[in-house]
């Protein structure tokens, strides 16, 4: 039998076998089970944390090429090299990332850090990297910082200033100017100021640019330097910054003079917010707030008048408030404080029993100002007016709209109470705490999930871009609870449409911390645990070392004298100097103090919370001097704005804890 071979088929077959064998060898050699990858990565991270950078560098290199963790491992190798002062290896790792993984979120960071390293030795290559970032990622912080470095590269290109062309000087100034405008308090801001001033002898710096530099110096606490730079700026445009800087230098007379003079002659040249800051400083320096407001009102010729008038209205007697706010609203119907003024006029009509006019004003407010701070208050009180008319459908709609549109507000809490026909201000004493988690849902194979499991929090933050909730979560995982909550709260405030109560982002705004101790002493004293949790959050944002200017200390912000009195009365046997900053003991003292207030205020929690801030004597006086029919009217009429807002904050937070962790809506 004769077998005829097809030569091409034979060759193809042989090649196929070779490829299969090579593939099998490659997989056998380089394949790494995910569990093994995780173990190596965890060990590398542990070594890095211990400072064993050499071994961490080696272990990160063992991460499989096929793993999603590989580019991150390369980045960590660069970090190890940096800690070992091995610039060459560090740069090589950065280049591996942006050359092999150009679309990876770490690519721009790697290019930026490589540019920094090459700034002196290879400025042309560094320039190329920075320009690439500015072109391809213009909205990132890396692009802003890259502008500064481009200015440095241009500045260093010519050893002698007099050899530098005018066009280059202009480019250098543009680079520093752009950076300071976008990041006046950025990490490189003072470098930009100093580099700019180094070339000031050979260039013409404008008054606006000197003001820009002075602002940065002020932000960095370089007040003397800021004062020198302010001398080179336009007096019309610098006066509000000069007020703040003079105050920082403790030149109080100058700060007051500049404020008076500025309000009289120069307010049109500066922003509204800067005028308000100058006014606030002036009031701090005055013995009588009312007299100071009147003095500035008599001088103000433009910006600042509405702000001063709003503060005046806030401080006049109850009988004069309506007239004052009416004048403010009529004079500035479209100003920043007009919505608040109209809400006060609205409530004054309710207090006087003129419900028909009140309803008209309230509806006008909601039409003109549907989504401002005073909107939920007006909507809630329109519900109360409808309730007076026994219009079930109308008041139900108002209360539900408050809860739907402003779910985390104090007025959502009050609306819920009215819908449920609850007269006691406490909804429940129970919540079911849940852990703070990564704030977004994700697929099982998401790299974020893996990094969370591996506790590589800094990279999680980097991969998530500028997401403030992720930043908050990373801060929380690091134990920085106050900063975490502040970031999350500001991020939530920016959302026009609030997420539902089950959204994980709410837990970052209202985390449950120190709750075991709070429950223990709340039960021991007969206090409501979620209310004590809310009060603690508002007092200190769960910072055990918090201390106010007045001296209130610890988680529940107790004055030493108050703590000593409670310690003595309740025979707690504490060393107060040690107890105030001890979380466990501070919570115990705070609960016993709250019990004392509650027992002396007939068990009323609204009054007790107000007394925790405003003092028991003030509350007892207000309860006899104010005319009110129910809790809502009492709270709205609390004379101290700080105390009124405090009550709303604490009970708003109490509501949120119950809403988020107990399912109420």
pLDDT of residue 434: 95
Phi and psi based region of residue 260 (left: phi greater than 0; alpha: psi -120 to 50; beta: remaining): alpha
pLDDT in tens, 345-387: 999 999 999 999 999 999 999 999 999 999 999 999 999 999 9
- Terminus-to-terminus CA distance in the chain, angstroms? 88
Average of per-residue pLDDT across 125-134: 97
Residue ending a domain, among 488, 509, 530, is 509
pTM: 0.88
451 plus 595 within the same structural domain: no
Distance CA 433, CA 255 (A): 49
DSSP 8-class letter at 571: T
Q: Do 481 and 533 sit in the same domain of this protein?
A: no
Average pLDDT over residues 189-215: 95
3-state per-residue secondary structure call for 202-221: HCCCCHHHHHHHHHHHHHCC
- Secondary structure letter of residue 4 according to DSSP: P
Residue 554 and residue 500 share a domain: no
Residue 412 lies in a domain: no
- Closest residue by Cα to residue 291 from 266, 315, 323: 315
Q: Confidence band (pLDDT; 50, 70, 90) for 444? A: low
Residue 338 maps to a domain: no
Confirm whether 247 is domain-assigned.
Answer: no
What was the pLDDT predicted at 627?
A: 86
Distance (Å, rounded) from C-alpha 4 to C-alpha 15?
20
Same domain for 614 and 500: no
Tens of pLDDT, residue by residue over 21-34, are 444 444 444 567 98
pLDDT score at 23: 47
Tens digits of residue pLDDT in 290-327: 999 999 999 998 899 999 999 999 988 888 899 999 99
Please, what is the average pLDDT of the chain?
92
pLDDT in the model for residue 202: 79
Instruction: Determine which helix (DSSP H) or strand (DSSP E) holds 658, and give its type and residue range.
Output: helix 641-662
Q: Do 569 and 658 reside in the same domain of the chain? A: yes
231: containing domain: 34-237
At 300 the pLDDT is 94
333 occurs within a structural domain: no
Among the candidates 237, 272, 298, a domain finishes at 237
How sure is the predictor about 2, in pLDDT bands with cuts at 50, 70 and 90? very low
> Which of 210, 237, 264 represents a domain boundary (last residue)?
237
pLDDT at 459 over 80: yes
Residue in 618, 620, 612, 609 with CA at minimum distance from that of residue 652: 609
If one counts the domains in the chain, the total is 3
* Contact status, residue 556 vs residue 590, Cβ threshold 8 Å: yes
Decide if pLDDT at 160 tops 70: no
Task: Answer left, alpha or beta for residue 431, where phi above 0 means left and psi between -120 and 50 means alpha.
Answer: beta
* Higher-confidence position of 663 and 401: 401
According to the model, what pLDDT value does residue 445 have? 62
Look at 52-66, 122-136, 154-168 and tell me which has the smallest mean pLDDT. 154-168
Same domain for 210 and 162: yes
For residue 261, is it within any domain? no
User: pLDDT tens digits, residue range 516-531?
Assistant: 999 999 999 999 999 9
Give the integer Cα–Cα distance in Å for 347 and 359: 10
**pLDDT tier, 158 (very low <50, low <70, confident <90, very high otherwise):** confident
Query: Hey, which of 136-140, 439-443, 592-596 has the most confident mean pLDDT?
Result: 592-596
524 with 481, same domain: the answer is no
Query: What is the model's pLDDT at position 662?
Result: 86
Question: Does some domain include residue 143?
Answer: yes
Asked which of 446-450, 550-554, 628-632 is least confident by mean pLDDT, the reply is: 446-450
Residue-level pLDDT at 48: 96
Q: Is 544 in the same domain as 468? A: no
Residues 135 and 212 in one domain: yes
**How would residue 441 be classed by pLDDT, with cut points 50, 70 and 90?**
confident
Cα separation, 580 vs 547, in Å, equals 10
Same domain, yes or no: 458 and 579: no
Short-list 259, 232, 233, 237, CA closest to 246: 259
- Which segment, 88-102, 449-463, 464-478, is predicted with the most confidence on average? 88-102
Residue 402 has pLDDT above 70, yes or no: yes
State the Cα angle at 96 between 92 and 98, rounded to 5°.
120
539 is catalytic: yes
Tell me the C-alpha distance between 131 and 479, whole Å: 37
In a domain, residue 179? The reply is: yes
* Rounded CA separation 299/264 (Å): 5
Q: Can you give the pLDDT at residue 159?
A: 67
Angle between helices 355-368 and 375-388 (to 10 degrees): 150
Whether residues 476 and 552 share a domain: the answer is no
287, two tokens: 């013995």
CATH number of the domain that residue 658 is part of: 1.10.530.10
176, part of any domain: yes
Residue 11's pLDDT band (cuts 50, 70, 90): low
CATH number of the domain enclosing 165: 1.25.40.10
Catalytic residue among 277, 539, 565, 595: 539
| Residue 269 DSSP code | G
For residue 443, is pLDDT > 60? Answer: yes
pLDDT band at 161 (very low <50, low <70, confident <90, very high): low
The per-residue pLDDT for 552 is 96
Give the DSSP per-residue string, 139-194. Answer: TSHHHHHHHHHHHHHHHHH-SSGGGS-HHHHHHHHHHHHHHHHH-TTSTTHHHHHH
| Residue 442: count of CB within 10 angstroms of its CB | 11
In sequence order, the 6+-apart residues with CB closer than 8 A to the CB of 261 are 239
- The torsion of the CA quartet 32, 35, 36, 40, rounded to 10 degrees, works out to 120
Do 89 and 175 share a structural domain? yes
Please, which residues have CB within 8 angstroms of residue 256's CB and are 6 or more apart in sequence? 282, 285
Residue 201 has pLDDT above 90, yes or no: no
């Amino acid at each position: 039998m004769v077998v005829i071979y097809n030569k091409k088929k034979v060759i193809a077959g042989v090649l196929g076998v070779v490829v299969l064998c090579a593939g099998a060898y490659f997989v056998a050699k380089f394949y790494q089970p995910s569990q093994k990858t995780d173990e190596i990565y965890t060990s590398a991270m542990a070594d890095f944390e211990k400072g064993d950078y050499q071994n961490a560098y080696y272990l990160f290199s063992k991460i499989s090429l096929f793993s999603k963790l590989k580019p991150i491992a390369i980045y960590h190798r660069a970090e190890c090299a940096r800690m070992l002062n091995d610039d060459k290896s560090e740069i090589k790792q950065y280049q591996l990332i942006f050359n092999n993984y150009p679309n990876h979120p770490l690519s721009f960071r790697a290019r930026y850090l490589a540019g920094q390293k090459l700034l002196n030795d290879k400025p042309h290559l560094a320039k190329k990297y920075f320009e690439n970032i500015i072109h391809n990622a213009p909205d990132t912080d890396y692009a802003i910082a890259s502008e500064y470095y481009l200015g440095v590269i241009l500045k260093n290109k010519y050893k002698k200033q007099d050899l530098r062309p005018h066009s280059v000087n202009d480019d250098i100034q543009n680079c520093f100017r752009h950076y300071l405008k976008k990041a006046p308090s950025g990490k490189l801001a003072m470098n930009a100021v100093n580099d700019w001033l180094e070339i000031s002898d050979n260039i013409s710096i404008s008054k606006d640019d000197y003001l820009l530099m002075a602002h940065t110096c002020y932000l960095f606490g370089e007040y003397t330097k800021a004062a020198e730079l302010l001398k080179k700026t336009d007096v019309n445009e610098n006066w509000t910054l000069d007020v703040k800087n003079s105050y920082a230098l403790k030149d109080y007379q100058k700060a007051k003079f500049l404020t008076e003079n500025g309000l009289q002659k120069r307010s049109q040249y500066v922003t509204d917010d800067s005028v308000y800051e100058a006014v606030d400083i002036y009031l701090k320096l005055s013995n009588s707030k009312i007299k100071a407001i009147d003095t500035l009102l008599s001088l103000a010729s433009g910006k600042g008048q509405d702000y001063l008038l709003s503060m005046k209205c806030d401080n006049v007697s109850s009988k004069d408030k309506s007239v004052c706010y009416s004048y403010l609203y009529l004079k500035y119907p479209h100003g920043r404080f007009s919505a608040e003024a109209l809400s006060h006029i609205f409530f004054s009509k309710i207090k006087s029993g003129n419900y028909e006019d009140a309803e008209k004003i309230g509806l006008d407010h909601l039409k003109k100002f549907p989504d401002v701070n005073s909107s939920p208050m007006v909507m809630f009180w329109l519900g109360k007016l409808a309730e007076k008319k026994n219009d079930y459908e109308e008041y139900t709609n108002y209360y539900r709209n408050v809860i739907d549109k402003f779910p985390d507000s104090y007025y959502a809490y009050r609306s819920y109470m009215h819908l449920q026909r609850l007269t006691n201000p406490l909804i429940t004493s129970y919540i079911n705490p849940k852990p703070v988690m990564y704030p977004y849902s994700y697929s099982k194979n998401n790299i974020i999930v893996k990094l969370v499991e591996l506790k590589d929090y800094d990279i999680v933050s980097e991969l998530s871009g500028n997401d403030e909730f992720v930043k908050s979560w990373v801060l929380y995982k690091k134990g920085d609870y106050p900063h975490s909550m502040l970031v999350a709260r500001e991020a939530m405030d920016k959302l026009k449409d609030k997420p539902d109560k089950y959204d994980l982002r709410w837990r970052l705004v209202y985390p449950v911390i120190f709750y075991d101790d709070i429950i223990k002493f709340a039960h021991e004293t007969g206090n409501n645990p979620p209310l004590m949790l809310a009060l603690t959050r508002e007092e200190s944002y769960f910072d055990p070392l918090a201390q106010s200017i007045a001296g209130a200390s610890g988680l529940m912000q107790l004055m030493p004298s108050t703590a000593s009195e409670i310690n003595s009365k309740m025979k707690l046997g504490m060393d107060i100097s040690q107890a105030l900053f001890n979380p466990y003991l501070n919570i115990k003292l705070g609960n016993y103090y709250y019990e004392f207030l509650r027992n002396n205020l007939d068990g009323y929690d609204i009054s007790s919370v107000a007394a925790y801030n405003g003092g028991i004597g003030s509350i007892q006086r207000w309860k006899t001097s104010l005319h009110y029919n129910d809790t809502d009217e009492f709270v709205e009429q609390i004379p101290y704005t700080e105390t009124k807002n405090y009550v709303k904050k604490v009970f708003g937070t109490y509501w949120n804890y119950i809403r988020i962790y107990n399912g109420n809506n």
